[in-house]
Amino acid sequence: MMVFAALRLGNGDGMNQGDQKTGAFEYLTTRKDELIGWARKFSIFPYPFVTACCAMEFMSVSSTLYDTDRFGAALPRFSPRQSDLLMVVGTITHKQAPILKKVYEQMCEPKWVMAFGVCATSGGFYQNYAALQGIDKIIPVDVYIPGCPPRPESVIDGIMQLQDRIAGSKHPIINETF
């Protein structure tokens, strides 16, 4: 903690300075980010926003043969307040879109969104008045899993890519102004 107190010099966020003191700060924050990233990526609480046929593959991927529990991502939390990964599984129609937006907005940071299946990614082959042509029209998406429905291996690949993203991102719990 003395190190932090000594380093509360400099301006801005202290991350991009050239001198040695803030270099040490950067090293510590990087390690902190890696630690938190590691913890977060292996304890994902999905909110399965399940609508259509992809639900079959979601059930398969959560079960014993292809297990998401080994990634720490099996325990669903059905309250948006308690979950951090919004898995949009299946087609979202225009009637359902307000509900999706509401659930997304109720989730707390940090949160990620996974578009599971082509219907969530881009509307699938329902190019008509009823289906929302991709959920990224209303909420930001982190990982897209194509497939109609995607094989469980694709889903696991998607989860692993999301884990890489979580591990590699910055987690600003403590910053200069804390």
Residue 20 binds other proteins (CB under 8 A): no
- Candidate segments 11-19, 28-36, 128-136, 170-178, binder of other proteins by CB under 8 A: 128-136
- According to CB under 8 A, which one of 38, 82, 140, 173 is a site residue for other proteins? 140
Pick the closer one to other proteins by CB: 16 or 127.
127
45 touches other proteins (CB under 8 A) = no
Could you give the angle at the alpha carbon of 45 between the alpha carbons of 40 and 47, nearest 5°? 140
Angle at 152 between CA 151 and CA 154, to 5 degrees: 70
Size of the site for other proteins (CB under 8 A): 46
**3-state helix/strand/coil string of the chain:** CHHHHHCCCCCCCCCCCCCHHHHHHHHHHHHHHHHHHHHHHCCCCEEEEECCCHHHHHHHHHCCCCCCHHHCCCCCCCCHHHCCEEEEECCCECCCHHHHHHHHHHCCCCCEEEEECHHHHHCCCCCCCCECCCHHHCCCCCEEECCCCCCHHHHHHHHHHHHHHHHHCCCCCCCCCC
Block residue for tokens 């082959």: 125
Nearer to other proteins, 37 or 90 (CB): 90
Find tokens 């995607």 and name the residue.
Answer: 150
Comparison of 11 and 64: residue with beta carbon closer to other proteins: 64
Interaction residues for other proteins, span 76-115 (CB under 8 A): 76, 78, 90-91, 93-103, 105
- Among 35, 130, 160, 173, the residue binding other proteins under the rule CB under 8 A is 130
* Residue of 133, 154, 161, 169 interacting with other proteins (CB under 8 A): 133
> Measured from the CB of residue 171, what is the shortest distance to other proteins in angstroms?
24
- The distance of closest approach from Cβ of residue 174 to other proteins in the complex, given in angstroms and rounded to an integer, is 30
Q: By the criterion CB under 8 A, which residues form the site for other proteins? A: 49-53, 55-57, 59-60, 63-65, 76, 78, 90-91, 93-103, 105, 125-133, 136-140, 148-149, 151
